[in-house]
Amino acid sequence: MARTITEIQNTMFTAIATDANLASLTSTSRVAIYRLFVFVVAYAIWLLEVLFDVHKTQIDTALYEQKSGTARWYRNMALSFQYGFDLLYDSDKFDNAGYTIDQIEASQIVKYCSVKESFESNKLTIKVAGENGNLLAPLTAPQLESFNEFMQEIKYAGVRLNIVNNPVDKLVLIMAIYRDVLVIDENGNSILDGGKPVETAIKAYMKALPFDGELVLNDLIANLRTVPGVDNAHIFNATSSHWNSVGLGFSDFAPINVRTTPTSGYFEIVNFDNVSYVV
């Protein structure tokens, strides 16, 4: 870990003080020539130590992520998938010869991914999602077909993959927002600019949730309390519905008790009709 500039300077000052040849260097002025030289050298040493730390972190991360066959490796491979590109012969790398960086980045359609080991032996559940504008969205049927083929090509022998590419889970919130009447009106509009600060905050919170992460209702309430004009928030009821791959339809809405993890990996607010603003 890099030392601070002050620590390096103090080491150098101690060495100067104990060197008989430098006994005349006793000035404590910050602009003393020898002190300025010490600062310049100390800064250069500090910068070099910082670069060493960055290099070590990069190497450690690369070694950790390149361990083949781990859940993290499968996640990185899924995110590296390039739609419309072929693999190099006998390799898990894509043939990018002749293509621009923009073309390569545009082909990487898997924007979100989580990989979890199933209770069943030798089986991995891989949840994926792309983007449509600024919103998370499932891969299209042709994209999914190509992605499945890629994962079958690069997976380890004996490992079974369960690819989840479901439509977004639906979320309904019945809640009351205790508002500051000086800031938010009875319809949830900002008196200052006419926007919907609570709805915007809820959407931003859902967007910021880790992919395939838990939705914790108390955390959502705590987040809403930070919105200007919101004195408090209370969720009377929260329910969600997920895509049933067997029945090929959405399940009935089920209550959320404290927390839940979306089957698809992410949520969409159905509407805000059940959000009331009270004082």
Domain ranges within the chain, ordered by starting residue: 5-65, 71-164, 169-278
Q: pLDDT over 70 for what percent of the chain? A: 96
- Six token digits for residue 99: 């293509």
Between these two residues, 70 and 148, which has the higher pLDDT value?
A: 148
Over residues 190-200, the pLDDT tens digits come to 999 889 999 99
Range 142-161 average pLDDT: 93
**In this model, does residue 64 exceed pLDDT 70?**
no
Whether residue 43 contacts residue 5, with contact meaning beta carbons closer than 8 Å, is answered with yes
Q: What is the pLDDT of residue 141?
A: 94
pLDDT band at 134 (very low <50, low <70, confident <90, very high): confident
- The tens digit of pLDDT for each residue in 5-31 reads 999 999 999 999 888 888 888 888 888
Alpha helices by DSSP H, 120-271: 141-154, 197-208, 217-224
- Which range in 60-64, 91-95, 133-137, 178-182 is most confidently predicted, on average pLDDT? 178-182
Tell me if 265 sits within 8 A of 116, measured CB to CB.
Answer: no
- Distance from C-alpha of 158 to C-alpha of 181, rounded to nearest angstrom: 62
User: For residue 39, with 0-12 CB atoms within 10 Å meaning exposed, 13-18 middle and 19 or more buried, which class applies?
Assistant: middle
Q: Output the CA–CA distances (angstroms, integers) from residue 196 to 228, 230, 268, 271, in the order listed.
A: 11, 12, 17, 13
> Residue 169: which residues within 8 A CB-CB, separation 6 or more?
240, 241, 242, 243, 262, 263, 264, 266, 267, 268
42 phi, psi to nearest 5 deg:
-65, -40
For the chain, what is the mean pLDDT? 91
Least confident of 100-104, 106-110, 117-121, 165-169: 117-121
pLDDT in tens, 182-224: 999 999 999 998 899 999 999 999 989 999 999 999 999 999 9
- Average pLDDT for residues 263-271, to the nearest whole number? 92
**239-261: per-residue pLDDT in tens?**
999 998 776 789 999 999 999 99
SS3 178: strand
Q: What is the mean pLDDT of residues 64-76?
A: 78
pLDDT at 67: 63
Among 70, 67, 99, 65, CA closest to 82: 99
pLDDT in tens, 36-60: 999 999 999 999 999 999 998 888 7
Residues 6+ apart with CB under 8 A from 95: 85, 86, 87, 88
pTM of this prediction? Answer: 0.69
For 61, residues 6+ apart whose C-beta sits below 8 A from its C-beta are none
- Give residue 66's pLDDT: 63
Q: Is the pLDDT of residue 3 over 70?
A: yes
Asked if the model's pLDDT at residue 82 lies above 90, the reply is yes
Cα separation, 271 vs 171, whole angstroms: 9
Helix axes 217-224, 197-208, angle to 10 degrees: 140
pLDDT category at 1 given cuts 50, 70, 90 is confident
Encoded tokens for 55? 């290099």
pLDDT confidence of 129, banded at 50, 70, 90? Answer: very high
What is the Cα–Cα distance from 240 to 224, expressed in whole angstroms?
A: 20
Give SS3 for 244.
strand
Tokens describing residue 166: 């479901």
